[in-house]
């Protein structure tokens, strides 16, 4: 039985093993998938031990996506654009890295939620591995403008530089959020509410009548941003559960060459994690 795993911090309660078990049953593939908690300084050793124990592929989550990028001998174009990896596949003795976050987000927003992203002025909060994974896909999906704001402005600038489209993708300071206008799409890719202890305080001036609010997180971590979106009176509020399932399906296909169906898995997990409600 081939071994796969999720590597990240505090991932013991992740639904990823449940998701991949469902996909494997669909495809009739025998595979074991586990969640492995690991701190940044121990990631290299953990990956080496995983391979020694028969590991064939892995998902990578916070805070290891950029470190995983550095481990790869070969990269997909979308991983290279992102500068971050969330999917590893062992090709003989070398890691091949891909990033399925962006594809997963776009598939969820456009397919499941019926959002047309074309022409939307978009605010991306955050510039870490999650933001790096989705930013190129948002540009490819046709957003009109991508404004990147991060508490560490140097990281936001670095992401904008990687994207290489200064006319469409640029940065502003976090302190300027009240004065940068309104957006048709606001995406939270920060860890606010996860582990930094910093409350998420955003001005309602960011919103207009068409604004959709999307959190790349789900569950308890997403509560602060989703509460802000409800208080703002937004009609379209989306958490990261669908994205999680869609990016997992992309990873599964990279490993096994089979694209699983996601709707039944989404319905199962949605019943366990109630959908965020609009105001």
Distance CA 172, CA 161 (A): 13
Catalytic residue, from 13, 65, 81, 277: name it. Answer: 65
Distance CA 157, CA 229 (A): 26
On whether the CB atoms of residues 247 and 104 are closer than 8 A, the answer is yes
Distance CA 162, CA 84 (A): 11
Distance CA 189, CA 173 (A): 16
List the Cα angle 193/196/201 in 5-degree steps.
Answer: 55
Assess whether 81 carries a catalytic annotation: no
Distance CA 249, CA 263 (A): 11
Distance CA 61, CA 9 (A): 8
Distance CA 257, CA 251 (A): 10
Catalytic positions: 65
């Amino acid at each position: 039985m081939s071994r796969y795993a999720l590597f990240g911090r505090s991932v013991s309660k992740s639904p990823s093993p449940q998701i991949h078990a469902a996909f494997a049953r669909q495809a009739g593939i025998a595979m074991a998938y586990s969640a492995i908690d690991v701190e940044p300084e121990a990631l290299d050793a953990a990956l080496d031990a995983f391979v020694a124990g028969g590991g064939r592929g892995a998902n990578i989550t916070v805070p290891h996506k950029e470190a995983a990028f550095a481990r790869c001998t070969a990269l997909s174009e979308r991983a290279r654009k992102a500068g971050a990896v969330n999917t590893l596949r062992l090709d003989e003795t070398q890691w091949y890295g891909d990033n399925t976050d962006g594809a997963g987000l776009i598939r969820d927003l456009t397919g499941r939620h019926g959002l047309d992203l074309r022409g939307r002025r978009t605010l991306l909060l955050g510039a870490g591995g999650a933001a790096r994974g989705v930013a190129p896909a948002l540009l490819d999906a046709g957003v009109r403008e991508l404004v990147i704001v991060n508490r560490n402005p140097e990281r936001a600038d670095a992401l904008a530089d990687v994207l290489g489209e200064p006319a469409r993708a640029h940065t502003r300071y976090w302190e300027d959020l009240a004065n940068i206008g309104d957006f048709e799409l606001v995406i939270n890719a920060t860890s606010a509410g996860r582990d930094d202890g910093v409350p998420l305080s955003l001005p309602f001036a960011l919103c207009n009548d068409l604004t959709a609010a999307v959190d790349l997180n789900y569950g308890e971590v997403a509560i602060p941003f989703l509460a802000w979106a409800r208080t703002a009176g937004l009609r379209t509020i989306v958490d990261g559960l669908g994205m999680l399932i869609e990016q997992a399906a992309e990873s599964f296909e990279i490993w096994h060459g089979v694209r699983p169906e996601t709707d039944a898995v989404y319905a199962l997990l949605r019943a366990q994690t109630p959908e965020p409600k609009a105001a």
